[in-house]
């Protein structure tokens, strides 16, 4: 018998506790205590129950029992304060409250095959896209539904941090009533995407839901209704909508799992997830912590290209934001880590996007930067990160209309993304250089609604207002800029960010009265 809960597998026969592929070391008494709690999870067990079961009725102090219980919690990433999995009921006893599923032997695909164990989960997020149900009774919609599932599967497979089950395996469940938890066990995935298609009155309604196959929890659900015109265009449109909705949900769910794990049991990927969370702040302290966590991921896995690329991006931002005590050293480190990431995997879209950005800002090699950015979006046209980086590469290279198109694509893919402020700021820069000052003001205000302390938004507003002769608003934006970035000077900004080609931007900053 094997019990699965959270990210753990508890094997009674082998007397092993696994977190993913890792075996968690626990003492025999701690194992017995956890087994008893799980087997009796439908009720509250008393201290006497535990002592009788684990210590065979011997006299045991409350302190000894508490010590063993704390060891159980530590082994499964729980604490006495959180009590996510093991709850203490004062004067009553204890109860295992985590979602548990039992795994027995699973029959092979043919009756004569020997039974095999349920597949273990991969060491990265895993998902299967099941065939969508055709609710219209129209056989033509069957082909449409199948084609859309194939498109979604292909789109998800372009995210290299995801493990995606192939179409042939997923389609073995076509036309069957399925149990999502069983599908997860049989395919060895944590997440399952399922949905339906219904045609009515010239329209197609598509529903989808993303489910945690271990807990059965519904992570995301939505409905899309479109006119039934060009079938292939419709498949593309819905694919983009579904993928851009569930991709950040998967990341947030994985991040929540990583933050609950004990530091001593974290994998390289867990450290990378924690680093990604810190990176969102873009503060001096946030970038420093991101570098520490990404570096830890690289220590655990020297060939973790994603960790190297993220760490390189942080060194780049330290230079651009004026946080670097030694800008030249941080430039060199950003370039070194970018090259390391490319050497590990030069076909990973996220790595290519980071490498293009670092090449543009840190070396000024715009030709190479554009090539890298173009390859990133070609490999994964559904990646917000790739399109956002491409926008900045084209902007700093002076190809402004293409930069705006890239930012617009990024916004369409992820309209509530935590990094949206960077896309909006980039669009603002481009609009200013094109003399489209009203549009720069609009996106600048939108950027501030997302992050009221983002310096690039105030730079854009100060410059755009000044160009339009709206002097009071320009001075107000300039004052706010100096509040959030007190050391700002135009010359230092140009030196650290390679903004020498932003002539109208700089002219506007001067008109707004910002220090030279």
DSSP three-state, residue 171: helix
CATH code, domain with 335: 1.25.40.10
> Chain centroid to CA 3: how far?
28
Tally of domains in the chain: 5
Distance CA 486, CA 488 (A): 6
Q: Which range, of 112-116, 127-131, 298-302, 318-322, averages the lowest pLDDT?
A: 112-116
DSSP three-state, residue 4: strand
Residues 227, 140 share a domain: yes
Residue 110 belongs to some domain of the structure: no
Calculate mean pLDDT across residues 434-444. Answer: 96
Residue 115 belongs to some domain of the structure: no
Residues 410, 304 share a domain: no
Residues 238, 157 share a domain: yes
Residues 238, 171 share a domain: yes
Q: What pLDDT does 312 receive?
A: 96
User: What is the value of pTM for the model shown?
Assistant: 0.70
Q: What pLDDT does 167 receive?
A: 79
DSSP structure string for 408-444: HHHHHH-TT-TTHHHHHHHHHHHHHHTT-HHHHHHHH
Q: What pLDDT does 205 receive?
A: 84
Q: Residue 362 is part of which domain span?
A: 352-418
- Estimate the share of the chain in helix, then strand, then coil, as percent rounded to the nearest 5: 55, 15, 30
Q: What pLDDT does 105 receive?
A: 45
Residues 235, 135 share a domain: yes
Distance CA 278, CA 283 (A): 9
DSSP 5: E
Q: What pLDDT does 108 receive?
A: 39
Question: Of 306, 316, 302, nearest to 342 (Cα)?
Answer: 306
Last residue of a domain, one of 330, 345, 360: 345
CATH code, domain with 66: 1.10.10.10
Last residue of a domain, one of 248, 280, 315: 248
Residues 379, 335 share a domain: no
Residues 335, 445 share a domain: no
* % residues pLDDT > 90 (the chain): 36
Residue-wise pLDDT for 214-259, tens only, equals: 888 888 888 888 887 766 777 788 888 888 888 888 877 877 777 7
Distance CA 64, CA 75 (A): 17
Residue-wise pLDDT for 331-356, tens only, equals: 999 999 999 999 988 888 999 999 99
Q: Which range, of 170-174, 244-248, 390-394, 436-440, averages the lowest pLDDT?
A: 244-248
Residues 207, 132 share a domain: yes
Contact 501, 454 (CB under 8 A): no
């Amino acid at each position: 018998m094997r019990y699965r809960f959270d990210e753990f597998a508890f094997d009674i026969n082998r007397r092993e506790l696994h977190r993913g592929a890792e075996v968690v070391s626990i003492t025999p008494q701690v194992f017995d205590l956890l087994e008893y709690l799980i087997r009796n999870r439908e009720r509250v067990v008393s201290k006497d129950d535990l002592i009788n079961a684990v210590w065979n009725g011997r006299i045991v102090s409350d302190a000894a029992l508490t010590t063993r219980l704390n060891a159980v919690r530590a082994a499964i990433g729980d604490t006495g304060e959180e009590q996510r999995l093991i709850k203490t009921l004062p004067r009553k006893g204890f109860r295992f409250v985590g979602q548990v599923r039992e795994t027995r032997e699973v029959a092979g695909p043919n009756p004569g095959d020997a039974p095999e164990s349920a597949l273990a989960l991969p060491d990265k997020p895993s998902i299967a896209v099941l065939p969508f149900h055709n609710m219209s009774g129209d056989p033509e919609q069957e082909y449409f539904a199948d084609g859309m599932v194939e498109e979604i599967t292909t789109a998800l497979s372009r995210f290299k941090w995801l493990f995606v089950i192939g179409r042939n395996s997923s389609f073995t469940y076509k036309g069957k009533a399925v149990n999502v938890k069983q599908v997860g066990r049989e395919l060895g995935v944590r997440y399952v995407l399922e949905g339906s298609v219904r045609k009515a009155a010239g329209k197609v309604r598509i529903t989808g839901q993303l489910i945690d196959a271990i807990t059965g929890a519904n992570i995301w659900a939505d409905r899309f209704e479109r006119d039934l015109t060009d079938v292939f265009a419709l498949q593309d449109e819905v694919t983009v909508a579904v993928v851009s909705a569930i991709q950040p949900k998967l990341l947030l769910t994985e991040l929540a799992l990583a933050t609950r794990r004990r530091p001593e049991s974290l994998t390289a990927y867990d450290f990378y997830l924690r680093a990604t969370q810190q990176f969102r702040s873009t503060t001096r302290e946030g970038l420093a912590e991101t570098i520490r966590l990404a570096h830890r991921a690289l220590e655990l896995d020297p060939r973790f290209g994603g960790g190297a690329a993220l760490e390189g991006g942080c060194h780049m931002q330290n230079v651009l934001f004026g946080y670097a005590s030694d800008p030249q050293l941080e430039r060199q480190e950003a370039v070194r880590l970018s090259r390391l990431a490319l050497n590990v995997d030069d076909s990973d879209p996220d790595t290519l996007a980071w490498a293009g950005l670092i090449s543009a800002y840190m070396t000024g090699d715009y030709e190479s930067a554009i090539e890298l950015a173009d390859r990133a979006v070609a490999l994964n046209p559904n990646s917000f990160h790739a399109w956002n980086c491409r926008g900045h590469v084209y902007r700093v290279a002076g190809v402004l209309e293409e930069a705006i198109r890239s930012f617009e694509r990024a916004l369409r893919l992820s309209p509530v993304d935590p990094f949206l402020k960077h896309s909006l700021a980039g669009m603002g820069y481009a609009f200013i250089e094109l003399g489209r000052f009203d549009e720069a003001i609009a996106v600048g205000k939108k950027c501030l609604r997302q992050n009221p302390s983002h310096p690039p938004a105030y730079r854009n507003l100060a410059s755009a207002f000044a160009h339009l002769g709206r002097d009071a608003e320009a001075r107000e934006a300039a004052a706010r800029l100096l509040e959030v970035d007190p050391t700002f000077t135009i010359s230092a900004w140009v030196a650290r960010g390679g903004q020498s080609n932003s002539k109208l931007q700089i002219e506007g900053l001067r008109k707004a009265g910002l220090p030279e």
